[in-house]
Amino acid sequence: MALPRGIPALFAGLGLLFAAAVAHAAPKTVVINQVKLSTQQQQALSQQLGAQLIPGRFWYDHLSGAWGLEGGPAQGLLPPGLPVPGKLWFGASGGQSAVVVNGRALHPVDILRLQQAGVPVRPGRYWVRADGVGGLEGGPPSFNLRAMMAPRRPTGGANRPGPFSTYDLTGIAVY
């Protein structure tokens, strides 16, 4: 006996709703710095961040606040010093570069982003805080990433030659 038209679609829709309900009821697995967070840890962190955590495997830098997916580059910045278990490890970004920041070998994309922002990138082991201040591991502060990456204003005021300038190469106003 064939089912009346529309009934199979109804059952399929109910099946999707059931699957969604089961998936929603299933505990989320959140792993940060190779440590699986308990439900209580997830709730506390969600409350502190003011956002719901998504399931996945992440790395988090307690000193700088940088975070990303395991094996990937930095995806953004969170407040530093969050109560997250585990320690950032060398291979967190999957990188094997000679540029190590706070114990993590930078991913090639991280290095490229720094270079594109005008930051000179040299092999070495560095520490960097959330405010962008950093230095060689074990050494005093020697650079400020935020200052290096800040947009630069042209020097010499507005009288710069160019296609939309009202000044010529000698600095004389041309109307």
pLDDT in tens, 6-28: 444 434 443 333 333 334 444 68
pLDDT at 171 over 70: no
pLDDT at 38 over 60: yes
What's the pLDDT score for residue 113?
A: 94
pLDDT in tens, 87-134: 999 999 998 899 999 999 999 999 999 999 889 999 999 999 999 999
Cβ contacts of 66 within 8 Å, gap of 6 or more: 60, 74, 76, 77, 78
pLDDT mean across residues, the chain: 80
